[in-house]
Amino acid sequence: MTEANTPCIRFDLERPKRIGLPEAVFCEGKPRRALHTLLSRFAGQPQTPILFTRLPQDVFNSFEEEITRAYDYDALSRTAWNAVMPKRTQGRAAVVSAGTADGAVAREVSRTLTYLGWTCRRFEDCGVAGLWRIQSVIEDINKADVVVVAAGLDAALASVLGGLTERPLIAVPTSVGYGVAQGGHAALSSMLSSCAPGVSVMNIDNGYGAACAAARILNAIYPAGK
């Protein structure tokens, strides 16, 4: 077998060879015992980079110091890694967020791309209530090979960016907003019904998925080893 077994979990170690992306650990919903087992296992294996997503700060901090000190943990994005993938010398992504309230999702995107070895730059607080914000950075955004936009409320930023960049654009609706925003469903509907052609839309708050979609595009433009 090519899979390494841990209690309740079997790792797909051949995934990078098939799709160019390694498996990650989605922590939400997993028992603390399983997370402890996994974090313990990979703490001593920096030669095997692993990314943990949706890992709450209180859960991470509850583990022994010999485990926690082995990881680079970020509380905002709730991500942790023991090591990152080899640095890619070509290719860059832009991560654009509408407001600082979308920061957790945008940070999950940038942290995942960094873990995967890609260079990325974040552009924060670019909401369209002040169009000058996006206008002032659009030239720098267009220097990237792929763009990820994270926005809540009416998520109008995705449509605006869709009309300002020719780069592949991946939109992530966030669960930010009052009342009828409905936990990101209004943003999702807005992005799905965008008048800007060719905007790809991820699930609500799925920064990890957006980063992987961007990495697939970057892998296609800059194949590893070529």
Domain CATH for 131: 3.40.50.1970
pLDDT in tens, 142-201: 999 999 999 999 889 999 999 999 999 999 999 998 998 899 999 999 999 999 999 999
176 & 110 share domain: yes
Residue 4: the pLDDT is: 47
Decide which of 103 and 18 is more confident.
103
45 & 102 share domain: no
103 & 213 share domain: yes
Cα 129 versus chain centre, distance: 25
Q: Is 106 left (phi over 0), alpha (psi -120 to 50) or beta?
A: alpha
143 & 214 share domain: yes
Amino acid at 72: D
**Range with the largest mean pLDDT of 12-16, 17-21, 110-114, 155-159:** 110-114
Alpha helices in 72-195, H assignment, sequence order: 103-115, 132-135, 138-141, 156-162, 185-192
In a domain, 87, yes or no: no
Q: What percent of the chain has pLDDT over 90?
A: 69
Decide which of 7 and 169 is more confident.
169
Structural domain boundaries, residue 24: 5-81
User: Any idea which of 2-6, 54-58, 59-63 has the lowest mean pLDDT?
Assistant: 2-6
d(CA 112, CA 193): 27
Residue 6 pLDDT exceeds 70 = no
pLDDT in tens, 76-107: 999 999 989 999 999 999 999 998 999 999 99
Number of domains the chain contains: 2
pTM: 0.89
Decide which of 47 and 207 is more confident.
207
154 & 73 share domain: no
Cα 37 versus chain centre, distance: 24
From 61, 81, 101, give the residue that closes a domain.
81
Over the Cα atoms of the chain, what is R_g?
18
Mean pLDDT of the chain: 89
Residue 12: the pLDDT is: 67
d(CA 222, CA 129): 36
Average pLDDT over residues 53-78: 94
Residue 14: the pLDDT is: 67
Residue 41 pLDDT exceeds 60 = yes
Strand ranges in 27-126 using DSSP code E only, listed in sequence order: 51-53, 72-74, 79-81, 92-97, 119-123
In a domain, 86, yes or no: no
